[in-house]
Chain A
Amino acid sequence: MDTNILNIIMIGVGLILIYLAIKKEMEPTLLLPMGFGAILVNLPGSVMLQDNAILQWLYSVGIESAEAFPLLLFIGIGAMIDFGPLISKPWLIFIGAAGQGGIFISMILASMLGFPLNDAASIGIIGAADGPTAILVSQRLHSNYVAAILVVAYCYMALVPMIQPVVLKATTTKKERAIQMHYKPSAVSKTTRIIFPIVTTIVCGILAPDSAALVGMLMFGNLLRECGVLDSLSRAAQDMLSPLITLLLGLAISPMMRGDALLQPATLMIMAFGLVAFIFDTACGVVFLKIVNIFLPRDKKINPLIGGAGISAFPMSSRVVQKVGIEANKQNHLLPFALGANVSGQIASVLAGGLLLSELIPFFG
């Protein structure tokens, strides 16, 4: 197809992204800069794609050279996360592992349908439901579909409230959804809150060295929050660093939003695989708890909806689980458990990305 027509289509896509950001409030911090950037780089004779143009510079500095933007963003994200619900109920951590099933299933399917393994893994990582991880993995594996992967990843993250309820209801019975969970708040010591990010960094860094940067930045941000002596830095990371980097990241991705790069037949397949990843992330978490319930006595069964929060879409996924749980049983209060599973999913998704990088960088890095 003629490049000019592709450019025009991409300008239309940019307008759609801006509409979704403003009117539908879907991930506006990212979709708005991405949409506007898409318009800029697809204008006829656009100077924005020259080597010394600002968007190219942002891409070169923020993504290409050291993946700086995703990593710095993770400091802000870590500073926002409260791992208390997970620390107080450590068993929730396994839901995070189960909730990454969609990544691997999608990767296998993409590979079986002809995508090279680096592209298949990058496509699968859409299931991480985590923009920085998707950027880092697809960039370091030199995927040919970085732009499509990012747009699809962020769009599906915004669609979690629509996708997950369908999957949750399809994979559970009403009786299971109505299982009541009794939450007993338990205090989490400050010492544990401080040691947890340090131990997590060490464990993940040893097991998956390529995840050390992502996990490290996430946990560093969390340590800023929990240490109690750097409140100003923690607030800066949450309130200034995170929005600023998100803004710049959206613009930095723009050079990849050219019509000839994004509008490929493979983009439709990537959209399908992304949906598969999200569906199976949710389903694997639910099925994991259903299997666990087989071994539990009747009065100790776990509501399998909580498994749906093992995906890394924080905190939307927790709210979805809470809402679906209340629809089945108005007495139910799944949010504390779902939040614990959700933050576990955040760690698990980053670790999954790092593990795939560790295995595939020798071949594609």
Chain B
Amino acid sequence: MPNPILLALQSWGLLAGALGILFVALVILNKITGGKKKDK
């Protein structure tokens, strides 16, 4: 059975990591598509 504190830290850390990956993806996407400015 997982320890609740370790579970919380691990999950929160993974959450931050996943969003960090999305951050990098967004920065790259914005740079690549930056010339095609077509706002909806």
User: With the chains together, A305 CA to B40 CA distance in Å?
Assistant: 28
Asked if A94 is at the interface of the complex by the 8 Å CB criterion, the answer is yes
Task: Please measure, in the bound complex, the distance between the C-alpha atom of A226 and the C-alpha atom of B29, giving whole angstroms.
Answer: 15
A52 vs B8: C-alpha distance when bound (angstroms): 40
- Establish whether residues B1 and A117, one from each chain, have CB atoms under 8 Å apart when the complex forms: yes
Report the bound CA distance from A191 to B29 in whole Å.
9
B33 touches A192 (CB 8 A): yes
A175 to B23 alpha-carbon distance, docked (Å): 29
Which residues of B are found within 8 Å of A117, using beta-carbon distances? 1-2, 4, 7
Given the complex, which residues of A lie within 8 Å of B27, measured CB to CB? Answer: 90
Report the bound CA distance from A156 to B36 in whole Å. 42
Contact of B37 (CB < 8 Å), options: A187, A348, A363:
A187
Interface pair B15/A189, CB less than 8 Å apart: no
User: A356: nearest residue on chain B (CB-CB)?
Assistant: B11
Residues of B within 8 A of A252 (CB): none
A193 is an interface residue with CB less than 8 A from chain B: yes
Task: Determine chain A's interface SS by DSSP, over half rule.
Answer: helix
Find A104's partner among B12, B26, B29 (CB 8 Å cutoff). B12
Q: Are A355 and B19 in contact (CB under 8 A)?
A: no
Instruction: Decide if A108 is an interface residue (CB 8 Å cutoff).
Output: yes
* Interface 0/1 of B4-40, CB less than 8 Å to A: 1101111110111111111101110110011011111
Kindly count the residue-residue contacts between A and B in the assembled complex, taking CB atoms under 8 Å apart.
117
Nearest CB of chain B from residue A141's CB, rounded to whole Å: 12
Q: Which residues of A contact B40 (CB under 8 A)?
A: 84, 188, 190, 193, 226, 228
Q: Which of A90, A101, A191, A226 sits near B12, CB closer than 8 Å?
A: A101
**Residue ranges of A at the interface with B (Cβ–Cβ < 8 Å):** 84, 86-88, 90-91, 93-94, 96-97, 100-101, 104-105, 107-108, 111-112, 117, 120-121, 187-193, 195-196, 199-200, 203-204, 207-208, 226, 228, 344, 347-348, 351-352, 355-356, 359-360, 363
Pick the 8 closest A-B CB pairs, nearest first: A104-B8, A90-B26, A111-B4, A189-B33, A187-B37, A187-B39, A355-B11, A97-B16
10 further contact pairs, Cβ within 8 A, besides A203-B21, A344-B19: A90-B26, A104-B11, A108-B5, A121-B7, A192-B29, A204-B18, A207-B17, A355-B15, A363-B1, A363-B2
27 contacts between A and B (CB under 8 A): A84-B39, A86-B26, A87-B29, A88-B30, A93-B26, A94-B16, A100-B12, A100-B15, A104-B12, A108-B8, A117-B4, A189-B33, A190-B36, A190-B40, A191-B29, A195-B29, A196-B26, A199-B22, A207-B17, A228-B40, A344-B19, A351-B15, A351-B18, A352-B15, A359-B10, A359-B11, A360-B2
